[in-house]
C-alpha cells in the first residue's frame, strides 16, 4: 500500500466493492483496506472437527466474525468480498411501501430501480429454475407444495440468486473475464463456495476495481481515522507484517459493515476524540432486520437441506396496518451435509424441557457436546435428510442502539426484544405452520428459545442517512455531517429495516451515492458507471406478488405461552440507596421508563433480562442505573436482577412482583457474599434479600424477623 491515495475504501463487502470499482473506473487512485483474507478457489475452511481452524475471525482471523454483544448475536463476514462469501446469494428489492418511512428525501423504489438494475447486471442474478442443468432440488419442490397446502401460493416466489447455474464442473469466464463454474447444488453457500459458482464480489466488482488499478491490502484492519480539516489519516494494522501503518486520503469510504463502521466511528468520536463532531445520532437506528432462525425436524418427505443453494424459495407475509403491520419473508435454508449431526443435536435437545435460565455459554457447550457425541457415534456423513432450516426476516422497528460502554469502551448493542416481540411471535407461528405443512415439528434456535437472544445476520443502521444531523449521521448521499469527504456506504447507512435480504439494497444505495461522490470528486456532473448502458430492467419476484386486500392469512398455529410485560416509571438516583429506605426527595435526576418482559412458553420458563431503561427524551442516561442490568455469567448467579432504580410508589403489586414470582419458582437460596471465590454484586445481594424477605426461605416458613424485614422493604409498601 502507498502512503496516500485520492480515495481510500475501508472494507470490501457490498458497499466497499461498489465504491472501489466505481472510483477505479473514474480514474482515481484508490486504496482498499480489508481486514479479512483473500480466499483462493477451493481455499475456504472445511475442518469439521475444529471450529477454531479458519472459521472464526476472533481465532486466527477466520471467515466468520461472530460477536455475542449482550442483546443480540451479530454475525458478519471477514474476507476480501465481505459478506458475499457467506451470504445465501438472495437479491431482493424493498417493495415501494418500504421507502415510506425513515428514508431521506430522494429515496423511493422508482428512484432506486436503475441502481438495482445495475447491481443485478453486475452480479448476474437469476432465480433457480427447472430448466437449469440440475433442475430444482427436493427442498424447493417441497416448499412449493407446503405453500400450496397453506393456501399461500400467491405469496410464494423463487428469489433472484447471485449464482451461476451454468453447467457444473465446467469452467466458463464471467462478464469480467474471471473463471467460474456452474453450481453443483452442494449447499455450502454459507461457508464459502469452493467452486466459484457463487457470483461473489471478488469475481465481479472487485475484479474490475483491480483491473482498473485499485490497490488492495487484505488483512489490513483499520483502527482509527483522524481529520486535519483537509484530508483524513487512516491508521490500520497490517496483520501479515504485524505492523501499524498510516495512509492519507481526502476522501474516505467507510464500508466495514453496519456494526463495524458504527463501532469505528464511535471509537473515533468518543474514545480517541479524533472525529468529535460526529452527530449524536451515531449508534441509533440499529436494526436486526427482524431476523428469526428456526428448524423443522422429522419432515414427512426427505427435505435434503444440503441439496441446492442455501436459499431457493420465499413466502411473503403481510398483514395489519400502522404500528400493528407485520411484514416479513420466510425462506427455507440449507446447510452442508457435514453439519447435519449438529442440526439434529439441536432438534433432539430443543424439544426437551430444560433448565430455563441457562446462559448462552452453557447452550453453546451443550450443543457442541451433543454434536461431538453424534459425530463420534455416527460419523460425519450420517446425515439426516428430514431436517430443514427456516430463515425469516422482516420489517422490525429499527430502534436498537450500538454504543460503547463508559470507561471500558466495550461495544454493546441494545435491542428492543419486547418491542419487536409481536413480529418475532408471528414469525415463530408462521414457521410452526410451515413445519406442520412439511409433516415435521418446529425446533427453535436455542439462544432464542432459552434467552430470547436473536441471531442477526442482516445487521443494518447505526450511522443512518437523514436530511439533517439531528436525525442521522450521514446525509442522503452518505457523507458524514460535518466531515466533508468522509462517507458511509454500507449497511450502517440504511435508515430502516429492509424486510427482505438487504445486500441488494446496500449495493444499490452504494451505487447511487458513489455516483454522486465521483461527480463531486472529478467535477464531472455527467459521470455514470459504464455498465449503466448495459443494465436492463429486471423483475423483482417479491414486488410481483399479490397481497390480498386485508392482508395475507394469519398463521394458524396458536400463540402458546404466557407473557408478562410491566412498565415502571420513575426517576434516576445516583449511587445505591440503602435497602428499606426511600430517597428523601422525589424527582431527583432525570425521569426514566423501565420495561421488563417475562416470557413463559409451553415448554419451560424463560425469565428474561429486563433490558430497557431509557431516560426521557432529551435527558442523559444514569450510568448507575444501567450498571444494574447485567447478564449473569455463571449458573450460580442466575437471578435476574432489578437494577438499583427507585420507582415511584404506585398502588398494586410491587413492580418486580411478576419477576419475583418467576424467580420464586426457582427457589433462590439466600445468597452468601462470596460465591465461587467472587463477591456477588451489591444489587444481586439486595434483590435476593428482598425476595427472601418477601417470599420466605425455601427451607422454612416466614419468621417474625423475616416479616419485619418485609415490612421495612420499600417494595412492600406498594
Ligand X SMILES: Cc1cc2nc3c(=O)[nH]c(=O)nc-3n(C[C@H](O)[C@H](O)[C@H](O)COP(=O)(O)OP(=O)(O)OC[C@H]3O[C@@H](n4cnc5c(N)ncnc54)[C@H](O)[C@@H]3O)c2cc1C
Show the binding pattern over residues 280-319: x = contacts ligand X (CB under 6 A), - = does not: -------------------------------x--------
Shortest reach from residue 128's CB to ligand SF4, in Å: 10
Query: Phi first, then psi: what are they for 513, rounded to 5°?
Result: -80, -30
Shortest reach from residue 410's CB to ligand X, in Å: 16
Closest to ligand SF4 by CB, 89 or 155: 89
Closest to ligand X by CB, 193 or 691: 193
Among 187, 446, 499, 622, interactor with ligand SF4 by CB under 6 A: 187
Q: Using the rule CB under 6 A, is 501 a contact of ligand X?
A: yes
Bridge-based pairing of strands 646-647 and 612-615 is unpaired
What is the CA 630 to chain-centroid distance, rounded? Answer: 21
Q: Using the rule CB under 6 A, is 396 a contact of ligand X?
A: no
> Is there a contact between 474 and 493 (Cβ–Cβ < 8 Å)?
yes
Options 74-82, 298-306, 477-485, 577-585: segment touching ligand X (CB under 6 A): 74-82
| Footprint on residues 196-235 left by ligand SF4 (CB under 6 A) | 197-198
The C-alpha cell 502512503 sits at 3
SS3 119: helix
Shortest reach from residue 77's CB to ligand SF4, in Å: 15
Q: What is the C-alpha to C-alpha distance for residues 697 and 708, in angstroms, rounded to an integer? A: 14
> Is there a contact between 107 and 495 (Cβ–Cβ < 8 Å)?
no
Torsion of CA 413, 418, 423, 426, to 10 degrees: 130
Among 144, 184, 237, 697, interactor with ligand SF4 by CB under 6 A: 184
Give the Cα-Cα-Cα angle 332, 333, 337 (nearest 5 degrees).
Answer: 135
Q: Using the rule CB under 6 A, is 190 a contact of ligand X?
A: yes
Among 33, 186, 316, 663, interactor with ligand SF4 by CB under 6 A: 186
What is the CA 346 to chain-centroid distance, rounded? Answer: 21
Closest to ligand SF4 by CB, 85 or 319: 85
Query: Residue 484 is placed in which grid cell?
Result: 466533508
Show the binding pattern over residues 424-463: x = contacts ligand X (CB under 6 A), - = does not: ---------------------------------xx-----
Q: What is the C-alpha to C-alpha distance for residues 25 and 17, in angstroms, rounded to an integer? A: 12
Nearest Cα to Cα of residue 283 among 404, 396, 397: 404
Nearest Cα to Cα of residue 528 among 536, 516, 538: 516
Shortest reach from residue 83's CB to ligand SF4, in Å: 15
| Footprint on residues 274-313 left by ligand SF4 (CB under 6 A) | 309
Query: Phi first, then psi: what are they for 209, rounded to 5°?
Result: -55, -45
By a kind-dependent CB cut-off of 5 to 8 A, residue 185 interacts, out of ligand SF4, ligand X, none, with ligand SF4
> Is there a contact between 38 and 80 (Cβ–Cβ < 8 Å)?
yes
Shortest reach from residue 314's CB to ligand SF4, in Å: 17
Bridge-based pairing of strands 215-217 and 30-33 is parallel
As a whole number of Å, the end-to-end CA separation of the chain is 66
Q: Using the rule CB under 6 A, is 14 a contact of ligand X?
A: yes
Q: Using the rule CB under 6 A, is 413 a contact of ligand SF4?
A: no
Q: Using the rule CB under 6 A, is 266 a contact of ligand X?
A: no
Closest to ligand SF4 by CB, 184 or 603: 184
Q: What is the C-alpha to C-alpha distance for residues 710 and 134, in angstroms, rounded to an integer? A: 71
| Contacts with ligand SF4, residue ranges (CB under 6 A) | 163, 183-189, 193, 195, 197-198, 309
* Residues in touch with ligand X (CB under 6 A): 10-16, 33-36, 75-79, 82-83, 86-90, 190, 221-222, 255-258, 260, 264, 311, 457-458, 490-491, 501-504, 506
Amino acid at each position: 500500500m502507498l502512503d496516500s491515495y485520492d480515495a481510500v475504501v475501508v472494507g470490501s463487502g457490498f458497499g466497499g466493492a461498489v465504491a472501489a470499482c466505481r472510483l477505479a473506473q473514474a480514474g482515481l487512485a484508490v486504496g482498499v483496506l480489508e481486514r479479512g483474507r483473500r480466499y483462493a478457489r477451493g481455499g475456504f475452511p472445511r475442518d469439521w472437527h475444529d471450529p477454531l481452524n479458519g472459521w472464526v475471525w476472533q481465532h486466527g482471523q477466520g471467515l466468520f466474525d461472530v460477536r455475542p454483544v449482550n442483546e443480540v448475536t451479530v454475525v458478519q463476514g471477514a474476507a476480501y468480498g465481505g459478506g458475499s462469501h457467506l451470504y445465501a446469494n438472495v437479491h431482493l428489492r424493498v417493495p415501494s411501501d418500504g421507502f415510506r418511512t425513515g428514508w431521506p428525501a430522494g429515496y423511493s423504489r422508482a428512484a432506486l430501480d436503475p441502481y438495482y438494475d445495475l447491481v443485478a447486471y453486475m452480479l448476474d442474478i437469476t432465480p433457480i429454475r427447472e430448466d437449469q442443468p440440475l433442475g430444482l432440488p427436493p427442498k424447493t419442490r417441497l416448499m412449493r407444495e407446503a405453500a400450496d397446502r397453506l393456501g399461500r401460493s400467491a405469496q410464494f416466489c423463487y428469489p433472484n440468486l447471485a449464482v451461476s447455474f451454468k453447467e457444473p464442473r465446467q469452467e466458463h469466464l464471467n462478464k469480467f473475464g474471471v473463471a467460474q463454474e456452474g453450481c453443483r447444488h452442494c449447499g455450502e453457500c454459507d461457508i464459502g463456495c469452493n467452486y466459484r459458482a457463487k457470483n461473489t464480489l471478488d469475481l465481479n466488482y472487485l475484479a474490475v476495481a483491480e483491473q482498473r488499478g485499485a490497490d488492495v491490502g487484505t488483512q489490513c484492519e483499520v483502527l482509527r481515522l483522524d481529520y486535519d480539516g483537509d484530508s483524513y489519516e487512516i491508521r490500520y494494522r497490517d496483520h501479515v507484517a504485524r505492523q501499524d501503518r498510516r495512509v492519507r486520503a481526502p476522501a474516505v469510504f467507510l464500508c466495514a459493515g453496519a456494526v463495524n463502521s458504527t463501532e469505528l466511528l464511535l471509537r473515533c468520536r468518543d474514545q480517541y476524540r479524533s472525529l468529535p463532531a460526529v452527530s449524536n445520532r451515531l449508534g441509533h437506528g440499529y436494526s436486526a432486520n427482524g431476523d428469526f432462525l428456526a428448524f423443522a425436524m422429522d419432515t414427512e418427505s426427505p427435505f435434503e437441506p444440503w441439496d441446492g443453494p442455501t436459499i431457493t424459495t420465499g413466502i411473503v407475509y403481510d398483514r395489519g396496518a400502522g404500528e400493528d403491520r407485520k411484514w416479513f419473508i420466510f425462506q427455507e435454508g440449507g446447510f452442508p451435509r457435514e453439519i447435519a449431526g449438529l442440526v439434529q443435536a439441536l432438534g433432539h435437545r430443543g424439544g426437551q424441557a430444560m433448565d430455563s435460565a441457562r446462559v448462552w455459554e452453557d447452550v453453546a457447550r451443550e450443543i457442541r457436546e451433543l454434536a461431538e457425541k453424534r459425530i463420534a457415534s455416527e460419523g460425519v456423513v450420517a446425515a439426516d435428510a428430514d431436517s430443514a432450516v427456516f430463515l425469516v426476516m422482516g420489517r422490525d422497528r429499527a430502534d436498537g442502539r450500538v454504543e460503547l460502554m463508559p470507561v471500558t469502551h466495550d461495544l454493546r448493542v441494545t435491542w428492543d426484544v419486547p418491542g419487536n416481540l409481536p413480529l418475532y411471535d408471528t414469525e415463530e407461528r408462521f414457521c410452526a405452520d410451515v413445519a406442520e405443512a412439511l409433516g415435521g415439528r418446529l425446533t427453535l434456535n436455542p439462544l432464542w428459545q432459552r434467552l430470547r437472544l436473536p441471531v442477526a445476520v442482516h445487521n443494518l443502521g447505526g450511522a443512518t442517512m437523514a436530511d439533517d444531523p439531528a436525525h442521522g449521521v450521514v446525509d442522503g448521499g452518505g457523507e458524514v455531517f460535518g466531515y466533508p469527504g468522509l462517507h458511509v456506504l454500507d449497511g450502517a447507512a440504511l435508515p430502516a429495516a429492509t424486510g427482505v435480504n438487504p445486500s441488494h439494497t446496500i449495493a444499490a444505495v452504494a451505487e447511487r451515492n458513489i455516483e454522486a461522490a465521483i461527480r463531486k470528486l472529478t467535477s464531472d456532473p455527467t459521470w455514470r458507471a459504464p455498465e449503466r448502458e448495459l443494465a436492463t430492467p429486471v423483475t423483482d419476484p417479491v414486488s410481483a406478488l399479490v397481497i390480498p386486500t386485508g392482508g395475507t392469512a394469519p398463521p394458524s398455529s396458536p400463540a402458546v405461552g404466557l407473557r408478562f410485560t410491566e412498565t415502571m416509571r420513575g426517576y434516576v438516583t445516583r449511587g445505591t440507596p440503602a435497602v428499606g429506605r426511600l430517597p428523601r426527595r422525589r424527582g431527583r435526576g432525570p425521569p426514566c421508563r423501565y420495561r421488563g418482559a417475562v416470557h413463559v412458553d409451553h415448554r419451560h420458563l424463560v425469565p428474561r433480562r429486563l433490558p430497557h431503561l431509557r431516560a426521557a427524551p432529551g435527558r442523559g442516561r444514569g450510568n448507575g442505573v444501567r450498571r444494574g442490568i447485567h447478564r449473569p455469567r455463571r449458573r450460580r448467579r442466575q437471578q435476574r436482577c432489578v437494577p438499583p432504580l427507585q420507582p415511584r410508589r404506585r398502588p398494586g403489586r410491587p413492580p418486580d412482583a411478576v419477576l419475583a414470582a418467576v424467580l420464586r419458582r426457582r427457589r433462590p437460596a439466600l445468597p452468601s457474599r462470596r460465591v465461587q471465590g467472587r463477591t456477588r454484586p451489591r444489587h444481586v445481594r439486595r434483590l435476593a434479600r428482598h425476595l427472601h424477605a418477601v417470599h420466605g426461605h425455601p427451607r422454612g416458613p416466614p419468621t417474625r424477623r423475616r416479616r419485619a424485614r418485609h415490612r421495612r422493604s420499600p417494595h412492600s409498601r406498594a
